[in-house]
Structure 1
Amino acid sequence: MLMRCPNCNSRDIGKIGSNQFYCWECFVEFNVVGDQVKLFQVEEDGSLSSFDDLFSEIPQVGTV
């Protein structure tokens, strides 16, 4: 199975750990567990920021 980046759809990814991958096109790290994918931005100091935190405060379309 050839995996693609869930962010940019690139095939240029590398495995960095158990169920952990890095995309060389958009420079994100992601974890795959079952059918769940978690995206992380790699900060300048090497720490990871979850994309879930970035989008957690955006209201859903159609909600009042």
Structure 2
Amino acid sequence: MMHCPNCKSKNIGKIGANQYYCWSCFIEMTMSNGSLSLHQVEEDGTLTSLDDLFEAEDLQAEM
């Protein structure tokens, strides 16, 4: 089972093809080539990348 690299919650929902959402910390994740890209959803609906806050090994997808 997948867990959120930010809050470690397993409360993850699938919102699209290779796109997931953490319902605990409200982070959107996109999977590409076995690695996650994390984004914060802003009030206006835009996404802000959070990848620079994590080490590469933290963003490896763990299913």
Range class of TM-score, shorter chain: 0.7 to 0.9
**1:25 positional shift:** 0.5
CA RMSD of aligned residues (A): 1.5
TM-score by length of 1: 0.73
Structure 2, unpaired ranges of 5+: 54-63
List structure 1 runs of 4+ shifted beyond 3 angstroms: none
TM-score by length of 2: 0.74
- Which structure has the bigger radius of gyration? 1
Comparing both chains, which one has the higher relative contact order based on Cα–Cα distances under 8 Å and sequence gaps of 6 or more?
A: 2
Letter in 2 for 1:19: N
Structure 1, unpaired ranges of 5+: 57-64
Letter in 2 for 1:25: S
> Percent same amino acid at aligned positions?
55
